[in-house]
Amino acid sequence: MTGKKSALKGLRVLDFTWVYAGPFCTRQLVDLGAEVIKVEPQETGALERRYSLVLERNGVKQSSYSVFLNRGKKSLSIDLKSKDGLAVIKELVKQSDIVISNMAPGTMASLKLGYKQVKRINPAIIYCTISCFGYTGSYANEPGFDLIAQAASAWCGQIEPPSPAPLAIGDSNAGMHATAAILAAIYYREKTGKGQWIDISMTDCLFHSHENNPPGFLFSQRTVPAAKNTRWAAAYSPYALIKGKDGFIAIAALSDVLWEKLVKAMGKDYAWLMTHPRTDALTKRLTYENAPFVHTILEEWVQKFDSVLQVEDLLRKSGVPAMKVRGFEEICDAPYIKDREMLVPTKQPFVGDFEIYGSPFKMTETPGRVMGYSPFIGEHNTEVLSRLLGYKKKDIDTLYRKGILYKEEAVDRLPEEKKRLGIK
């Protein structure tokens, strides 16, 4: 992918995000080539810098959580509540295309950086906010994290017993919706010259992502219950995590062609499934009544094998989608991860070599890619103020002396460290 152009090169993002949803969105933008300037609190930096796993290497503490979210971004650490700090930000707003925040509703306005205030400075700005419940409605001022959005949207309530997703699905889902909305707003601005406010609710995004059971509930005018899923889909079959002797296997065969291949692979003892009145047609297998029946039979068959890997091998060779349920440690060397460059080697100052997630944006002309290491608090203060705003060294020194700007001690050691690691 080296030598390819970046789709968003030339776009500048002023990033007031923290924890996951916002930083996840701006990671997509920086991977696609945008310049992302992350505005961080002084001394502590954004909250995700304290999230696990925090390791100390060469006298510098860094969080894996933050490193994976903030690679390729630039860090500006400034006192937003000061007159001089706010003046700097307002000047940067004039030079930016996008402002994004996932602070609680009202926070940006209290800093005099709400949409109406920012729009007066730059009428063409694309202003994106991400919050648990959005900026309108009766819950607009409610605080919330990913788990609250999962509960409020019935996401974790669609599982029996209720369970949160094993990743921040509310945050990441909202982050990708925000990315899509920002790109749409850029396209609209190209045609009209007009910016706009994008109001993303994590709960909205999860709610409209519900797949089969909730739509059935609404389509039936709320007469058919939105049945809960277990490791077996409530109304799809075969579509389940099936228990074997040494683990679980995912099996999905939601077509007549795949069903025929599955039954054939199961052997002569199960040939009757092709003609049984509960399983002889796709429409019968995709029902609340018959899905449990199919999955019970399938689990009986899988239990006859010593290992679910044997089942996976048999079904994949038969053309049936199947995969042993693997832990994260197991998939890092999987060909479907390595071949797609979803783990790529990288370097982080004071850490050295390690692997990081690659970009899922596989594009022939403008693919996404890792654009650099994760910044240190205040690392780009001087660059941003001098290059974009024309500040002289004495002006920047004055801001440091007043306590308006901040940089962590590791920044002064960076030139030598980057030389040692061969980082440009």
Pick the CATH number of 12-208+338-421 from 3.90.170.10, 3.40.640.10, 3.30.565.10, 3.40.50.10540: 3.40.50.10540
What local confidence, expressed as pLDDT, does residue 401 receive? 97
What local confidence, expressed as pLDDT, does residue 311 receive? 98
Contact 364, 289 (CB under 8 A): no
How far from chain centre, in Å, is Cα 100?
15
Q: 278: closest CA among 288, 268, 269? A: 288
**CATH number, domain 239-243+248-324:** 3.30.1540.10
What local confidence, expressed as pLDDT, does residue 2 receive? 58
Q: 186: closest CA among 97, 73, 92? A: 97
Question: Which residues of 253-365 form beta strands (DSSP E)?
Answer: 322-324, 343-348, 352-357
Instruction: Supply 50's token pair.
Output: 């304290």
Ordered by start, the domain boundaries in the chain are 12-208+338-421, 239-243+248-324
Give the chain's residues under pLDDT 50. Answer: 1
Task: Give every CB contact of residue 189 below 8 A, 6+ residues apart in sequence.
Answer: 124, 126, 195, 196
What local confidence, expressed as pLDDT, does residue 141 receive? 85
Task: Express each pLDDT in 240-283 by its tens digit.
Answer: 999 999 999 999 999 999 999 999 999 999 999 999 999 999 99
Please compute, for residue 370, the number of CA atoms within 13 A of its CA located in the half-sphere on the CB side.
20
Q: How far apart are CA 164 and CA 147, in angstroms?
A: 7
Q: What is the pTM of this model?
A: 0.94
Contact 26, 172 (CB under 8 A): no
Q: 305: closest CA among 242, 379, 368, 389? A: 242
Q: 399: closest CA among 96, 88, 112, 93? A: 88
According to DSSP, the β-strands at 35-40 and 74-77 are parallel
CA distances from 366 to 5, 12, 142, 340, 351 (A): 5, 17, 39, 16, 30
Q: How far apart are CA 44 and CA 201, in angstroms?
A: 27
